[in-house]
Amino acid sequence: MRGSDMKEITILLDGLTCANCGNKIEKSINNRPDVELAKLDFLTNRLTIKFNKENQGTDIEHIKTQILAIEDVNIIVEEETIVDIKKQYSLDQIRLVIGIFGLLISLLSDGLIFKGIALGIYVFIGYPVFKKAFLKLRRKDMFDENFLMSIATIGAIAINEIPEALGVMVFYTVGEYFQDKAVNRSKNAISKLLDVSVNQAVVVIEGKHIIKNPHQVLPGEVVFVAKGAKVPCDGTIIKGESMFDNKSITGESMPVQKTVDEDVIAGAVNLGNPVFVIVKKPYEDSSLARLVRYMQQASLKKARAESYMSKFAAVYTPTVVAIAFVVFIVSSFYLSDAREGLYRGLIFLVISCPCAMVISVPLGYFAAMGYGGTQGILFKGGEALESALDIETVLFDKTGTLTKGNIVCVHKVTIDDHDISKSDEIVNILEKHSGHPIAKALVLATESNSDLQITNIVETAGVGISGEADGKRVEIVSFNEVALSESLLSVSRQYPMAVVLKIDSHPTAIYFLDDEIKPDSAETIHRLKQWGIKTIMVSGDREASAQRIAQQLGIDEIFSQLLPHEKLAVGERLKTEKRKFAFVGDGVNDAAIITLSDCGMAMGGLGSDLTIEAADIVLLKDRPMDVVKAIEIAKKTRKIMITNLAFIFAVKIIILALGSLGYASMWAAVFADVGVALLAVLNAVRILHHET
């Protein structure tokens, strides 16, 4: 169904910190017949709901009731006022203090009165848990952690383990409180990393400065950007010059100098003098707006690991509850002690919540995406992070990826022992009279320190440039215009371009030109090889020229003289060989092969729209080493995920085993539940402090 046929609303679930509950909410709303698609972004707690065309008048209140039956959260639809939850936190803190006080009483005193006080405190601090349990029971959800915790502690009271029942409820409440705070702080930290928004624009209209929303600024309007302010829209400086900090947009660590006629991007911070910028495109089409859209969409794209964990959680809890019942029956029969059998079964109920497993995976991915954003690496969701894992081959486009796309003079050859310094002098003076890119490259590669005069300078398009010096005709022409020896022709095949300096029609020097290799290209290839990853370069250059660059960088295999569609054939060959490959490119012609690849990386910031849209990962800086860094972040994230899950499973299995044998208490069980969840949350966001 087309998006235009559907009504869409966004609901903020303020206070949602349970990933497992979030999964249940998303699943429940998706099961509604009037809903086309529901997606929960756990990072921002926003639930986006698209309704069927036939059900535009859906009762939102019914959806709210449905959500509240799953989790007690503050629900805010579109423009509704946000509910202040500080009072709720204060009440939770009061419950914790009273709960700890009651626990001390129950442990130190065994009298009937003190037991009554402990029971009263148990009911007081457990009220939110009982309330949620009741709501879940009405929905026939008996595998909710609140219901299971209620049954476990009531069971403990039934066998006269009042201190333990109160202790479990207190520590469960304490653990949930600190877990919620840890989750919220982690999500806030990640959100701050991704906050690149611009709040206002100062538009210059008839000499007056008018404050507008950046969305209202039109192309052609002039905006004033003061020191410390953000550029509101993509544009070009028409007055002034200053240093700009692009770190929040591209991840560049060093500010860049910008002056008149140079472009600046939305979100860049002006560090120096005020400047006036003429807007080139609406805010919605700016680099910043696109970046924000990609970030928002990224948190909705769930990784396979998240989906697997959600499915596992749906099976895990019923399984553990079933085992708890078996443990109760077997232990009661084997020990001839129903009380002990019940106690052992209750331990299984306490530990049956899958929250630690469910929350650590998405939070870990969110943290990795947030950290990547600070490094100028935009992962388009958990799927994109996973796509960078287990790469066997990286396929690089040459121009603009491994090279700068700038023409430079890379080699000089003299003919018949002519003085190269004199040749350089003539070339430097002649080419200063041309604006051609080749001329600029030759000027940079040569020097002129004498008073040599060249007159009658004439530039002929497609041929070259000529003049007169000391009564001799000097000219620089294309290599193809000159007959040369076979040895020089052999050298020339290693380079895509060459020009010849002639004096009175005699060739005296040859200047070979090529694309400039980026400083970190060789190190990138070296690092990939250390991981056992094969590197391939595709290029439209002649074979000898492409081979020369490949040898300089240490690339394993090259494909040269390729037309754009022939790059796709290289990728298709890798697919038939069942090799997982990444493609790194920057041009509009790379979109097709980026889509074909297992992991598509768009290099060079916010360039070609098609390439950016097709890519899994956008490298905002123009650095090949970010390919390595992206893979490193993915590897580090997976390592943290594996560590988390291994720790969670190990603790739970150990406590379950000890509990079934009578060597573990409910105190240990509650640690294996909320304590482990808290540690998992803290470990999941460790990537935020990772140094690659």
The residues assigned a catalytic role are: 397
Judge residue 237's burial from the number of C-beta atoms within 10 Å of its C-beta, 0-12 exposed, 13-18 middle, 19 or more buried: buried
- Compute CA 635 distance to the chain's CA centroid, rounded to the nearest angstrom: 14
- Compute CA 164 distance to the chain's CA centroid, rounded to the nearest angstrom: 44
Q: SS3 breakdown of the chain: % helix, strand, coil, rounded to 5?
A: 50, 20, 30
d(CA 555, CA 560): 13
Strands 581-585 and 393-397, bridge-based pairing: parallel
Name the token pair of 305: 């690991």
| Distance (Å) of CA 119 to CA 100, 105, 114, 164, 167 | 13, 11, 9, 11, 11
Q: How many CB atoms lie within 10 A of CB 231?
A: 29
Three-class SS state of 456:
strand
d(CA 689, CA 368): 10
d(CA 639, CA 631): 12
d(CA 387, CA 627): 13
Phi first, then psi: what are they for 266, rounded to 5°? -60, 140
Three-class SS state of 217:
coil
Q: How many CB atoms lie within 10 A of CB 8?
A: 11
- Asked if 674 and 129 count as a contact pair (C-beta separation under 8 A), the reply is no
- Asked if 47 and 29 count as a contact pair (C-beta separation under 8 A), the reply is yes
Three-class SS state of 558:
strand
Name residue, tokens 């990609």: 294
| Distance (Å) of CA 348 to CA 14, 382, 665, 673, 676 | 31, 32, 10, 10, 15
127-151 b/e with 16+ CB inside 10 Å = b?
Answer: ebbbebbebbeeeebebbbbbbbbb
354: which residues sit within 8 A by CB, 6+ positions away?
A: 20, 312, 313, 316, 317
Minimal CA–CA distance to 634: which of 458, 380, 415? 380
d(CA 27, CA 66): 11
Name residue, tokens 């956008």: 618
Judge residue 591's burial from the number of C-beta atoms within 10 Å of its C-beta, 0-12 exposed, 13-18 middle, 19 or more buried: buried
* Continuous segment of H or E residues that includes residue 458: strand 455-460
Q: How many CA atoms lie within 13 A of 106 on its CB side?
A: 25
| Distance (Å) of CA 45 to CA 7, 39, 125, 356, 485 | 20, 10, 26, 18, 72
* Continuous segment of H or E residues that includes residue 306: helix 304-335
Phi first, then psi: what are they for 263, rounded to 5°? -85, 145
- Asked if 670 and 346 count as a contact pair (C-beta separation under 8 A), the reply is no
d(CA 655, CA 344): 11
